[in-house]
Amino acid sequence: MDKKHPELEQIVNFLTSINIKVVETVIPETTFLPGLHLGPNTIFVDFSKLKYPGDLLHEAGHIAVTTPTQRELIGTENMPEEWPTQGDEIAAILWSYAALNHLNLPTEFVFHENGYKGSSEWFIENFTNGRYMGLPLLQWFGMAHSNDDVSNYNKPAFPAMQNWLRPE
C-alpha cells in the first residue's frame, strides 16, 4: 500500500467493511483512472500507478450504487454496455461525498483539481453548502434520506447513509 497516502489504509478498511473487495495487483494496461480497474464487486488497485487516492472512493461509489445482481457482472462481458449510466455517475459522485464525510477526509481528497472534467470546485461548493444534486436517486435506491425524512421519519439526513450498498 502507498505509504505516501496513509488515508488509503482507512479507505480500504472501510470498503472491506461494507463488502466491496479491494485487491492489490499489477495493472499492466492503461485504465480510465490510473491504477484502478473494476471487477465483480471488486476494485483492483495498482498502488504504484494510482495518481489520485480519492479516485478509489469514486470507483467504489460506482460499485455501491449498482444493484446487487449487476455488481457481480461489473467488468465482465455480461455487464450492460451502457453501465454506468449518467444517473449512476451522479449517484456515485454523491456517494463518494458521503464516504469522505464518513471517513473525515477533506472534500478535495475526492474532488481534486484534475478530476470531474474541471467541475471539482463546483461540486465542492454545492456539496459543502448542502446542495446535493442526485440525492433523490440515492433516496430511490434506498441508500439515503433527505432533510424531509428527518422530520417525517426521524432518520439521519444525507450525508449520513442508510445503506452503503444499494439493496435489490
Per residue in 35-60, pLDDT (tens digit) is 999 999 999 999 999 999 999 999 99
Rounded distance, CA 122 to CA 157, Å? 22
Please provide residue 149's backbone torsions phi and psi, each rounded to the nearest 5 degrees. Answer: -65, -35
Name all contacts of 114-118 with Cβ < 8 Å and 24+ positions apart: 114/52, 115/52, 115/54, 115/55, 115/58
pTM: 0.93
Rounded distance, CA 53 to CA 8, Å? 7
Share the mean pLDDT of the chain: 92
How distant, in Å, are the alpha carbons of 15, 96, 137, 160 from that of 103?
Answer: 11, 10, 22, 11
